[in-house]
Amino acid sequence: MFAAGLDVCRLNFSHGDLDGHAHALELVRSVAAECGQPICVVGDLCGPKIRLGRFSAGPVQLQVGQVIRFVRGTGECTGQQLTSSYPALVDEVAEGHRILIDDGRVRLTVRERQADASARSPAQSTAIRASTCLIRPCHCRL
């Protein structure tokens, strides 16, 4: 890859461990030295995690076409409403935005936003549970 023009290597710190990353860095530096070429190494850090709130009754099954509301606060998540660890979520979404849950396995589309946000569930029934990772839209329509 160096011979083909590689000039930047990315280490993904969301996966692996310190020893593995140290070994990869040593390998990149040694190959760069052998080739007599400088190489940039970028350490990619994961951003903050936004998580769903507590589900006292266990996982919730979302049904096709079901409407669920995202509400402010730290209350319980139910089959009718969800809370998150990110207080500004309701303020940042707009009609048409998608909110992804569980690494994108569950996709909700925001239908309206008033004091809270109303989203329609995905095209297939699916279960969601406490502390599942949530991906908020970056002010874009997907």
Burial 108-142 (b: 16+ CB within 10 A, else e): bbbeebeebbbbbbbeeebebeeebebebbeeeee
Q: What is the pTM of this model?
A: 0.62
> What average pLDDT does the structure give for the chain?
82
User: Phi and psi dihedrals of 30, rounded to 5?
Assistant: -70, -40
Q: Which residue has the higher pLDDT, 125 or 76?
A: 76
138 has a pLDDT exceeding 90: no
Structure tokens at 68: 């669920």
Summarize pLDDT for 33-53 with one digit per residue, the tens: 998 888 999 998 877 788 888
Confidence band for 141, pLDDT divided at 50, 70 and 90: very low
Torsion of CA 67, 72, 78, 80, to 10 degrees: -20
Distance CA 54, CA 83 (A): 8
Confidence band for 123, pLDDT divided at 50, 70 and 90: low
Q: Give the chain's end-to-end CA distance (angstroms, integer).
A: 34
Structure tokens at 121: 């569930």
